[in-house]
């Protein structure tokens, strides 16, 4: 090997070593760019929010094939559901979609109530609607913020975190938990609203309008943001239906369906709100969709606060919820009540062979619960229909033939939550 | 938004609740009629029909499951497969001719109707034709059913485990699979820190 040592073109007269990186240097094979290349995108990639993995087949920088891989966060929630009572399982539902735990709590409690054939009292329903809409705002505003961040706009993400903190303060005040709330119970709620929640929510909503306007001003006509998102990751209406998409992702593709309007639950039919629909189905219309839904959710929140009914918060009566720990330690009746609710063989009476599929409109889409009861206080089968599962499997038609940077834009617009995806 | 007086709001809310109850009654009737149509099309092959809390369920023989799904999609307008799942009847009370039940939840977006179709499946040979040719979205749910119950879908282009690792043995959501205690940890040995890892 007597190749001439290349001479530096700089002023320095030191020769460049023939192997500047030692053995770690990559040898460029002839014909490397002509073949397809398979790369891992995730599960530990900064642009993958959560433990998601895509195996991409690239031709140059163009995506010619992709396979979504999942299961890194699989926790066996469905199996666990067969060993926990209905009220115990509400704690597990928090962990599925940790962006909007309140919506998951509510969805599961509604499904069990539908199976038992009971309805929660009007006050409990109104509080649940308020909490669901707040968590929808928090989920969507963070989704937009992260979408902006992935396109290189860092400021909207910080604004969205400020708003989310305020929502979490409200959650902390009502349920004691910020992220994992476990606020609902079968038949109603764990606690009534404390004083000060209405004031906090109202001041938050007044400030929210400004933030949403600021975020829109920052992104909506932003040249960089539009170049990266308009016409990228397109999913047509037919594809969205065939892939089982629901919620904001389907509505951004022109599917005019919202369970709050079409199958009203919890008294959603009482409130005035519009269902925004966009037809382009690209990343940009998903951003527009989320922004429009934040405004509608704020409208619903205001109406709920204006018309908050009074009355009990649990249809099964005070005996259906756990008494406070102080009472358990000092009062005989509360101790018995606690015992009756937690011991195996006691608890909620369920139908002998009941089965129900009940879906609610969670921030990500149709969150369905398929429950089978066998007459005991423990479900026989719990099946979650997570919206993220159907969003994640439809990634291929959106990114095929696009560049790798478009994969980042598309993934962040889907807002796939790994906890809900893998369960 | 203008602030309505509370008394007016109560009246408006009451009217809206009544209208929603009427529309729900119409929806239940619509779902019943669509289920009637499927039963009439099945004729003698209908295994069982059930309704619980106004939700219609139709049990079909496994051999005609795919045909029924295709009929629901093409003739009755069920354009979305909302969910595909299964359950194990091993410990469930009541009469069950076979061990596994596969459940398809279909949605008719145009008429806003839901229908549940079920098929009993033999334990010895749990094989069904795939529904991915009707709805692409059946891809991951079917893989999950295969992963969790060991039910195979013939004709699925990529039938392999979805949530569990591909080397995994056993089907976790079967009722004879314990919640814990089958030595899962032993299947994935921890590499001790002292041993030098080889990257070959």
Spatial separation of the C-alpha atoms in residues A121 and A397, rounded to whole Å:
45
pLDDT at A2 over 60: no
Per-residue pLDDT averaged across A55-75, rounded?
86
Peptide bond into A43 cis (omega under 30): yes
Q: What is chain B's percent helix, strand, coil content, to nearest 5? A: 35, 20, 40
Spatial separation of the C-alpha atoms in residues A96 and A129, rounded to whole Å:
19
| Residue A264 C-alpha from the chain's centroid | 21
Spatial separation of the C-alpha atoms in residues A137 and A300, rounded to whole Å:
11
Average pLDDT, whole number, for chain A? Answer: 85
- Is B136 within 8 Å of A242 when comparing Cβ atoms? yes
Spatial separation of the C-alpha atoms in residues A182 and A84, rounded to whole Å:
15
Q: What is the pLDDT of residue B181?
A: 63
Q: Please answer whether residues B162 and B186 qualify as being in contact, where contact means their C-beta atoms are separated by less than 8 angstroms.
A: no
Bridge partners of B81, per DSSP, are: B106
| Residue A8 C-alpha from the chain's centroid | 55
**More confident site: A354 or A45:** A354
Q: Please answer whether residues A99 and A50 qualify as being in contact, where contact means their C-beta atoms are separated by less than 8 angstroms.
A: no
Nearest to A156 by CA among A92, A214, A221: A214
Measured in angstroms, the CA of A154 and the nearest CA of chain B are apart by 33
Q: Which residues of B touch A393 (CB under 8 A)?
A: 137, 139-140
- Is A357 within 8 Å of B83 when comparing Cβ atoms? yes
Q: What is the pLDDT of residue A369?
A: 93
Per-residue pLDDT averaged across A155-181, rounded?
90
Q: Return the ∠ at Cα B46 (arms to B45 and B49), rounded to 5°.
A: 175
Mutate to test the interface with A, among B15, B136, B174 (most CBs of A within 10 A): B136
pLDDT at A13 over 60: no
> Which pTM value belongs to this model?
0.85
Sign of the CA dihedral running A135, A140, A145, A147: positive
Q: What is the pLDDT of residue A76?
A: 87
Spatial separation of the C-alpha atoms in residues A251 and A241, rounded to whole Å:
10
- pLDDT tens across A331-346, in order? 888 888 888 877 777 7
- pLDDT tens across A237-258, in order? 999 999 989 989 999 999 999 9
Q: In B, residues 11-30, which contact A (CB 8 Å cutoff)?
A: 12-13, 16-17, 19-20, 27
| Chain B nearest-CA residue for A246 | B82
- Angle at which helix B65-74 crosses helix B6-42, to 10 degrees, equals 130
Q: What is the pLDDT of residue A294?
A: 93
Given B20, B82, B93, which is nearest A244 (Cβ)? B82
């Amino acid at each position: 090997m007597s190749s001439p040592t290349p001479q530096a073109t700089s002023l320095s007269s030191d020769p460049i070593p023939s192997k500047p990186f030692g053995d770690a240097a990559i040898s460029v094979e002839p014909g490397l760019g002509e073949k397809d290349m398979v790369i891992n995108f995730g599960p530990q990639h900064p642009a993958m929010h959560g433990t998601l993995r895509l195996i991409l087949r690239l031709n140059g920088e163009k995506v010619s094939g992709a396979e979504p891989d999942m299961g890194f966060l699989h926790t066996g929630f469905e199996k666990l559901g067969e060993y926990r009572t209905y009220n115990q399982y509400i704690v597990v539902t928090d962990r599925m979609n940790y962006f909007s735990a309140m919506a998951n709590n509510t969805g599961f409690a509604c499904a069990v109530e539908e199976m038992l054939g009971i309805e929660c009292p009007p006050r409990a329903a109104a509080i649940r609607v308020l909490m669901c809409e707040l968590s929808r705002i928090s989920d969507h505003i963070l989704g937009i913020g992260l979408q902006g961040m992935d396109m290189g706009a860092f400021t909207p993400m910080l604004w969205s975190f400020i708003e989310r903190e305020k929502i979490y303060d409200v959650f902390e005040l009502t349920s004691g938990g910020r992220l994992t709330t476990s606020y609902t119970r079968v038949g109603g709620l764990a606690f009534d609203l404390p004083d000060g929640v209405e004031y906090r929510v109202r001041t938050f909503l007044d400030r929210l309008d400004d933030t949403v306007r600021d975020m829109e001003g920052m992104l909506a006509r932003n040249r960089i943001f539009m170049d990266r998102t308009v016409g990228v990751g397109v999913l047509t209406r037919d594809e969205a239906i065939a892939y089982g998409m629901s919620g904001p992702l389907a509505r951004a593709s022109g599917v005019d369906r919202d369970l709050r309007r079409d199958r009203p639950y919890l008294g959603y039919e009482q409130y005035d709100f519009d269902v925004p629909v966009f037809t382009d189905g690209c990343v940009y219309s998903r951003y527009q969709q989320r922004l429009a839904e934040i405004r509608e959710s704020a409208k619903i929140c205001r109406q709920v606060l204006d018309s908050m009914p009074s009355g009990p918060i649990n249809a099964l009566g005070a005996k259906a919820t756990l008494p406070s720990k102080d009472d358990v330690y000092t009062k005989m009746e509360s101790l018995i009540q606690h015992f009756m609710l937690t011991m195996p063989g006691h608890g909620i009476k369920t139908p002998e062979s009941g089965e129900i599929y009940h879906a609610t409109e969670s921030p990500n889409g149709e969150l369905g619960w398929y429950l089978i009861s066998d007459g005991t206080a423990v479900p026989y089968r719990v099946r979650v229909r997570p919206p993220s599962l159907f969003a994640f499997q439809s990634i291929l038609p959106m990114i095929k033939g696009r560049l790798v940077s478009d994969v980042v834009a598309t993934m962040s617009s889907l807002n796939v939550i790994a906890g809900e995806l893998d369960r | 938004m203008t602030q309505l007086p509370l008394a007016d709001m109560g009246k408006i809310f009451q009217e809206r609740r009544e209208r929603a109850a009427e529309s729900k009654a119409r929806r239940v009737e619509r779902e019943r009629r669509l289920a009637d149509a499927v039963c009439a099309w099945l004729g003698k092959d209908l295994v069982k029909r059930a309704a619980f809390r106004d939700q219609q369920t139709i049990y079909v023989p496994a051999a005609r499951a795919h045909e029924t799904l295709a009929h629901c999609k093409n003739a009755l307008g069920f354009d979305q497969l909302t969910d595909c799942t299964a359950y194990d009847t091993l410990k469930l009370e009541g009469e069950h001719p076979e061990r596994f039940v596969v459940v398809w939840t279909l949605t008719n977006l145009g008429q806003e109707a839901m229908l549940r179709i079920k098929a009993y499946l033999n334990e010895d040979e749990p094989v069904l034709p795939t529904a991915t040719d009707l709805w692409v979205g059946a891809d991951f749910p079917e893989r999950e059913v295969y992963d969790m119950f060991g039910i195979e879908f013939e004709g699925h282009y990529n039938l392999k485990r979805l949530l569990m690792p591909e080397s995994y043995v056993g089907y976790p959501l079967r009722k004879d699979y314990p919640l814990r205690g089958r030595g899962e940890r032993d299947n994935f040995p921890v590499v001790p820190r002292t041993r030098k890892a080889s990257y070959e």
